[in-house]
Amino acid sequence: MPAVSHQLLLRAVREDDLPELHRLDNEVFESSPYSYLVLRQHFDAHADHLFVLSEGESLRGYVLFATSSDRSVSWGLSLAVARDRRGGGLGRMLMNEVLDKLREDGVQEARLAVEPTNTAAIALYRSLGFAPEGKDDNVRRDYFGPGEDRLLMSLKL
């Protein structure tokens, strides 16, 4: 029997994606994944800026931004790519999709917080036009709690 090949499809999230989204989030963020409840709430509140990469029945990546009601700013809450699919441009694909949608929706600024040691993510964000807030090495100590430092980056849309 021949192997079945599934193409990657970049699309808006659907409600029936939630179990698979939860599985992917747990795979990627082992030490601090979102609970199913939080993912459900993000879906209910921010589905217009939540995109997934599907491959058959599996999700291979997702991006989530949460936009203020006045559309002045949208915060990147999560960018995740399955471990076995990293390095192939999928994170860039997801980010480009959500940034295009933010622009289309009239959002003025995109912001995000990234681990200062995540050089691959920082390089991706810089290549998309994001810049660190303040000085280049202006890491916010304990931003997400003790020992959870973050570099804040922003992009005018």
Share of the chain above pLDDT 90, in %: 84
Domain ranges of the chain: 8-110
Give the chain's end-to-end CA distance (angstroms, integer): 49
What pLDDT score does 136 carry? 60
* pLDDT (tens digit per residue) in 8-38: 999 999 999 999 999 999 999 998 999 999 9
Which of the following CATH numbers is that of domain 8-110: 3.40.50.12160, 3.20.20.70, 3.40.630.30, 2.40.40.20? Answer: 3.40.630.30
User: Beta partners for 67?
Assistant: 74
Q: What is the mean pLDDT of residues 67-79?
A: 96
Whole-model pTM above 0.85? yes
CA dist 157 and 44 (Å) reads: 25
* C-alpha dist (Å) from residue 100 to 29, 78, 97, 130: 26, 17, 5, 14
Q: What is the mean pLDDT of residues 80-108?
A: 96
In 50-154, where does DSSP find H-type helix? 90-104, 119-127
pLDDT at 39 > cutoff 70? yes
